[in-house]
């Protein structure tokens, strides 16, 4: 038997005291966009709050009333949870914020309501992540900084253009991780062994790919991976992955593209 691995982006709810006010904020989001929480994986993050188990029970009931089904709880030991509560969950990696629809209820509305977007998303998320948090590694402080600036610029650019792709104009070193679940990632330089690129869209590498590249992680089958020299440790599109040992040897060290087709990964030489 084989198990398929799949990545999903979960919405993380971090309730703030007093819970009544926080729930009212949730109600406002639901009023604006009734389908927002439907069919999305939802994690309740109560780390650092030392919440009493009775309060947690009440909170879960309140959320259930609003048809928000919590799939896991981060920050409470599994042994403390009562029967029937969602399981304890840990070890998540932060990605960028999930946008909450603005008051005008227009998806991808015009430029003027982006600021309100940001505000509501902060309210819903409790700890809205700063641009640096989109880039993570084993050593956040070490890696965050060098790309923080470029990401900030990109964020601005993104607000203007409404689409999202990032360009990294230096080599990605071992131990560094570029995480961009919203769109394409372009790297001008090599991706070293022990480094990884995780993108919601396609990955373009103008250099050698020696590390890992995971494209289309938010469930995008038309994402592709391009590189000028294929020497990867692992590639993945839409949750389907292949390790170097399973690659077609003829493409090693050649320019290549990888795409997802009929539930398999197709490797092609790029001319």
Interaction site with other proteins (CB under 8 A): 139, 141-146, 149, 170-171, 173-176, 189-190, 192-195, 208, 210
Give the number of other CB atoms < 10 A from CB of residue 27: 11
- Min. distance of Cβ 177 from other proteins in angstroms? 10
Nearer to other proteins, 16 or 153 (CB): 153
- Min. distance of Cβ 209 from other proteins in angstroms? 12
The backbone torsions φ and ψ at residue 243, rounded to the nearest 5 degrees and listed phi first, read: -95, 165
| 171: Cα separation from own chain's centroid | 22
Nearer to other proteins, 88 or 254 (CB): 254
- Min. distance of Cβ 253 from other proteins in angstroms? 11
> Given its phi and psi angles, is residue 133 left (phi above 0), alpha (psi -120 to 50 degrees) or beta?
alpha
- Min. distance of Cβ 140 from other proteins in angstroms? 10
State the DSSP H helix or E strand holding residue 147, giving kind and residue range, or none if neither. helix 140-161
Q: Beta strand pairing status for 234-237 and 240-243?
A: antiparallel
Give the number of other CB atoms < 10 A from CB of residue 165: 19
- Min. distance of Cβ 174 from other proteins in angstroms? 4
For residue 121, give the DSSP letter: H
Structure tokens at 94: 């932060």
Nearer to other proteins, 119 or 149 (CB): 149
- Min. distance of Cβ 205 from other proteins in angstroms? 14
Nearer to other proteins, 13 or 179 (CB): 179
Which residues touch 137 (CB under 8 Å, ≥6 apart)?
143, 144, 175, 176, 177
- Min. distance of Cβ 178 from other proteins in angstroms? 12
Sheet of 184-188, strand order: 165-168, 184-188, 203-209, 224-230, 256-261, 264-269
Sheet of 196-199, strand order: 177-180, 196-199, 212-215, 234-237, 240-243
Nearer to other proteins, 102 or 131 (CB): 131
């Amino acid at each position: 038997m084989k198990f398929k691995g799949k990545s999903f982006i979960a919405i993380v709810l971090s309730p703030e005291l007093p819970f009544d006010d926080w729930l009212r904020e949730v109600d406002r989001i639901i009023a604006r966009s009734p389908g927002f929480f439907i069919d999305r994986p939802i994690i309740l993050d109560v780390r650092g709050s030392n919440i009493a188990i009775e309060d947690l029970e009440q909170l879960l009931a309140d959320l259930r009333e609003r048809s928000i089904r919590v799939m896991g709880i981060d920050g409470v030991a599994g042994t403390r949870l009562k029967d029937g509560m969602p399981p304890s969950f840990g070890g998540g990696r932060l990605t960028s914020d999930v946008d909450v629809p603005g008051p005008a209820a227009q998806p991808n509305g015009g430029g003027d309501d982006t600021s309100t977007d940001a505000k509501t998303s902060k309210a819903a998320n409790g700890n809205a992540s700063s641009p640096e948090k989109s880039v993570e590694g084993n050593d956040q402080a070490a890696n965050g900084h060098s790309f923080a600036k470029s990401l900030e610029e990109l964020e601005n650019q993104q607000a203007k253009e409404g689409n999202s792709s990032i360009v990294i104009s230096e080599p990605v070193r071992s131990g560094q991780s570029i995480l961009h679940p919203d769109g394409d990632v372009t790297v001008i330089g090599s991706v070293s062994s022990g480094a990884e690129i995780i993108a919601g869209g396609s990955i373009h590498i103008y250099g050698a790919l020696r590390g890992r590249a995971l494209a289309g992680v938010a469930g995008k089958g038309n994402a592709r991976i391009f590189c000028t020299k294929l020497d990867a440790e692992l590639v993945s599109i839409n949750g389907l992955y292949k390790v170097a040992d399973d690659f077609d040897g003829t493409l090693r060290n050649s320019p290549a593209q990888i795409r997802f087709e009929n539930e398999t990964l197709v490797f092609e030489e790029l001319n």
